[in-house]
Structure 1
Amino acid sequence: MSGGSRSSEQGFSRSSRRLSFEVEDVGYWDILVPHTVYPPREDTNLLARALKTIGVGPGLAVEIGCGSGAISIFLASLGWRVEACDVNPIAVAAARGNAQAAGLSEKISIEEGGVGETGWKLPEETDLVVWNLPYLDPVDDEILEPIEDASMLDIPGGWSDELLKKIHGLNVSEDCMVVMLQRTDPPSQSKSDSWLKSGWACRTILSERIGVERLEVKCFWKPARGFGPVVLEECESTMDEAKSLDQALWGRVLALNQATGRGRRGSEWKAFEGGLACTWLLPCPENEMPKLGLLQTSIGAILSSSLGCYCKWPNDLIDEKGNKMGGVLVESSTSESAIRVGVGINRDSAVEDGLEVSGWSKYLPEMELMDVFALVDAILASVFESNPRIPSINESELLEISWKGLATLLSQGTCIQSDEKNLRVIGMDDEGRLEIEVSGRVEVTDDVGSVEWFIPSS
């Protein structure tokens, strides 16, 4: 099944046509495209440029919805062995002919079928899955031919979720990457949420606005190559336990019971029964060490966004009433080549020392401890896990993430004071410090204790 834009439904010639497909520094091909087969367009080129970033095989790449075969030919030219499929038998015939014309028929196998077809499955030795997802929404008063309907229209819940169901239970390579082109504006049915909740990290490789649509090429992978966390029945502090992990690898220590968790500036974090108490180890060469303040604010922002709560600067996860449900602590030292990120999140709401605390069950009642761990692990890996084939997130992007998280809370009418003076938050600097306006002056602060937050009741 191939992707498409609404303009692609119109103007198909009723006979085959020959189109050019070119990717800089890789190759140029003439592609024969029948009228019921999606032709190479701007989205095809966007996907190819993203795949060029991932680079050369060797390995097995599977393209779903190959259409005319342009992407399969491109992948084979990069050195991948390719198994492709499409539900459109005319597309299968066209793709086979185009592969042969390109001299790559021995590297490309093309069969009829797809994710929604009975009996279709992903080969277990797959290293790369590629899909230009269908992203048109069905419209009642528009009629497409059955083949065009199958190749261009998304389905309720999204085709990406159907692929996820197929992958579950398969013994695919722990290094397997899934690259999908999605429409994110306006949102299509296919989204990344289910993949994150299933423990797959996700990072945008390339994005582009084509007409009125924003298209993104996203890469999904299993954090730590599928290896799970070190799980301890009980410990004093996961932050201390994480010091013994291999600092060259993405690692996690999760405690079912934590005795003396700590918060920012030495304060104590009380872990309630059933809550998440886990520390992540982020490998970080000395010359690539990020600013810890910015790291902390960005982590708070991405966690609050995914959990459905808010982040109170710099590191508190809170509900809409301002009740604390969790927090983030970031530590490192001159003797370490990694950063330790501690995350504590309550499961349930409770009253502690006369204060109400909140929990994730308020927002994600269906999720148990290891479900929340998988989600948080995927969220953190999406931003911070290093993968030589995927572009890293840079400092300006972390700052944008941090500010977006803070702006979400401020948009609810939240205000701050210091020494009984009203302050106006105007920004955040590249170390995660607040930029505030006080009596016409702009100041920068990282003193959490000097700022009092007022969150309006719902």
Structure 2
Amino acid sequence: MMTARSWVGEGISKPPFHVVHHKGILEILTNTLQIEHLPPKSVDGPIRRELELLSSEASIHEWAFKENEGLSLIVPATVYPPREDTGLLFSCLSKLGKGDGRKLLEIGCGSGAVSIALAKFGWEVTTCDVNPLAIAATTGNASYNKVNLTAIEGGLNEGGNFTNQQLIESRGPFDIITWNLPYLSPVKGDEEKLGPLEDAGLVDTQENNGWGVALLQSLTKESDLLKPGGAIYLLHTNNERGNLLQSRWRAAGWATRISSELQFDDGERLTCFAAWKPHEKAARQSHDVLDSTNQYLMETDLPIGSMVTAKQQLAGRGQRKRVWDTNEGDFAGSWVLDPELMECGPGMMQLDAGVAVIDAICASQDIPLPSAHWTNCNPFSNHNLSIHWPNDVWADSGKLAGCLIEGRQTGKHQKVVLGIGLNLGIPNTEDYPSTGLSDITNSVTLEGFTDLIDTAVSSQFETGILIPPRPNQKNAVWALMTNHLSRGLSLKQDAEKLTVTSISKAGELICHDGRKRRIISDSYNLIWN
């Protein structure tokens, strides 16, 4: 059994790792695992393989984390070296600016590359790893590169609990918690295994749908580990668990947004996303009856991110002040948005809100999110979930939801409100084909959908110093629009037939009339048939 201990980069009692010979590393491992006390039969293939690895010399890595700035790192066998994913994670975290004493916890430090680089940027870094050699390497590498950090032997177990938890908690609460998740699939049956230390750093757990969900469970139990307003940054690959990870965090009440991606020629895609508690400083109100949730927010002074819902709207409206009927059990809600978001135009914001609606439905069904990557839009063909320009969400049998952005300027003060209406039941209307969420699933209640859509709206529109900037989701929007266009629909304006070819950055339709390109920014006189 590995013993827990903490080595601090300042005033450490052990010599820096750089002066420890590889035989000394073998001695550390032998003493830690108490191998000399084990019967010969218990030293199985993976452990024997690991001991053979440890008899080799440690490698030296020169890692450039910025132009003209880098680290010299010693990396022993079984310790994860800096690679492309290391650079991607650091790149995302470095966008948060200088630490200025803010606290960061890295889980799975490996050689210490990310933790040491961030400590150089002024972050107060605590880092942990279940591999004692990773802790030795990180401690020595930090000392050699003249930074102070706290390295703790420990980490998350499969039950969602931290080993050496009290020591880790004593260094918090943290502004940022980050983890380059192990993502190799667990071995099955008689498949060849890695050594136990390699396994801990590289292989996903068989329990709890992976390490990303195990961390989610831990944060649910240990709510004081992350500061209010703090964020989690996770890096994963595009395997099955990775593709579902954001959906599962959304379902648990966390907003998520991609910070950056790295695509390889073989099809593998690495993604780093942030997760945070949505609208922590905002108000949340529920009313039995309102004329209009949008109108109510326009006339009240509530902070950005505030949500208001109504069980019944007497004067709900959609595009061009068309009546939006809210039947009993349907969702009707509005949010106050940051006025600076209007720089991208209300048209694109309404389309992004449509993505948020579909995201919320996907999170309820444990389906990959369209906002996570545009390739996730294809699996919805069973219900034909799609975006109908300029502001509607449709399913196979008709209109499901509508989104409306409204703004008001009073002097220098601008207010922007987003309203969303969604049918949970099947509406009784003959004006146009319509449907409800109950036609797709019976597992989502009004209360459950309210939480999911609030999280999805935060994921799309919330801003903050620890949250990545809003990405351009034109590809996802277009993919969801083509689900609708692929039914053979044509567009007419003033009796002239148009072919839709794309959308602009502002959310306008780019069309062709057979002679020239046309830009459509208004739905007036548009007919889909």
TM-score category, normalised to shorter length: 0.7 to 0.9
Aligned residues of 1:415 and 1:453 also touching (Cα < 8 A): yes
Between the two proteins, what is the percent identity of the paired residues?
A: 29
1:411-426 correspondence runs (5 A): 411-417=486-492, 423-426=498-501
1:98-247 correspondence runs (5 A): 98-105=141-148, 107-116=149-158, 119-120=161-162, 123=169, 125-138=173-186, 140=188, 141-155=191-205, 157-169=209-221, 170-171=223-224, 172-184=226-238, 188=242, 191-212=245-266, 213-225=268-280, 227=282, 229-246=284-301
Q: How many residues align?
A: 441
| Aligned residue in 2 for 1:348 | 425
- Shift in Å at residue 116 of structure 1? 2.5
CA distance in 2, matches of 1:257, 1:407: 33
State the AA in 1 paired with 2:147: L
Higher helix proportion: 2
The SS at the match of 2:199 is helix
Aligned residues of 1:160 and 1:190 also touching (Cα < 8 A): no
- When normalised by structure 1's length, the TM-score is 0.86
CA distance in 2, matches of 1:385, 1:252: 12
CA distance in 2, matches of 1:333, 1:254: 20
93-102 vs 11-20, which moves further: 11-20
The reply on whether 1:366 has 2:443 as its aligned counterpart is: yes
The reply on whether 1:258 has 2:313 as its aligned counterpart is: yes
| Aligned residue in 1 for 2:345 | 291
Deviations 1:379-429 (A, max 9, x none): 2222322223444236xx254443232123223544445677754211223
| Aligned residue in 2 for 1:45 | 87
Bigger CA radius of gyration: 2
1:60-99 correspondence runs (5 A): 60-99=103-142
Cα distance change of structure 1 residues 411 and 89 upon mapping to structure 2, 3 Å threshold = farther
- Shift in Å at residue 264 of structure 1? 0.9
Gap regions ≥5 residues in structure 2:
1-48, 363-384
402-411 vs 213-222, which moves further: 402-411
- Shift in Å at residue 318 of structure 1? 1.5
Query: How big is the alpha-carbon RMSD for the aligned residues of Structure 1 and Structure 2?
Result: 3.1
CA distance in 2, matches of 1:185, 1:289: 35
Deviations 1:89-147 (A, max 9, x none): 22223223323333334x32322232426741573612110100112234554432222
State the AA in 1 paired with 2:295: D
Cα distance change of structure 1 residues 210 and 440 upon mapping to structure 2, 3 Å threshold = same
Cα distance change of structure 1 residues 190 and 66 upon mapping to structure 2, 3 Å threshold = farther
CA distance in 2, matches of 1:181, 1:245: 40
- Shift in Å at residue 441 of structure 1? 4.2
The SS at the match of 2:81 is coil
Aligned residues of 1:294 and 1:402 also touching (Cα < 8 A): no
Cα distance change of structure 1 residues 167 and 44 upon mapping to structure 2, 3 Å threshold = same
- Shift in Å at residue 369 of structure 1? 2.3
- When normalised by structure 2's length, the TM-score is 0.75
- Shift in Å at residue 367 of structure 1? 2.5
CA distance in 2, matches of 1:343, 1:427: 25
Gap regions ≥5 residues in structure 1:
1-8
Aligned residues of 1:305 and 1:405 also touching (Cα < 8 A): no
The reply on whether 1:404 has 2:479 as its aligned counterpart is: yes
State the AA in 1 paired with 2:306: G
Deviations 1:158-213 (A, max 9, x none): 32111111111424422110011121378736621011223322222222224532
The reply on whether 1:316 has 2:392 as its aligned counterpart is: yes
Deviations 1:2-21 (A, max 9, x none): xxxxxxx9997833222222
CA distance in 2, matches of 1:166, 1:371: 22
CA distance in 1, matches of 2:518, 2:307: 37
State the AA in 1 paired with 2:327: F
CA distance in 1, matches of 2:91, 2:297: 38
Cα distance change of structure 1 residues 257 and 48 upon mapping to structure 2, 3 Å threshold = same
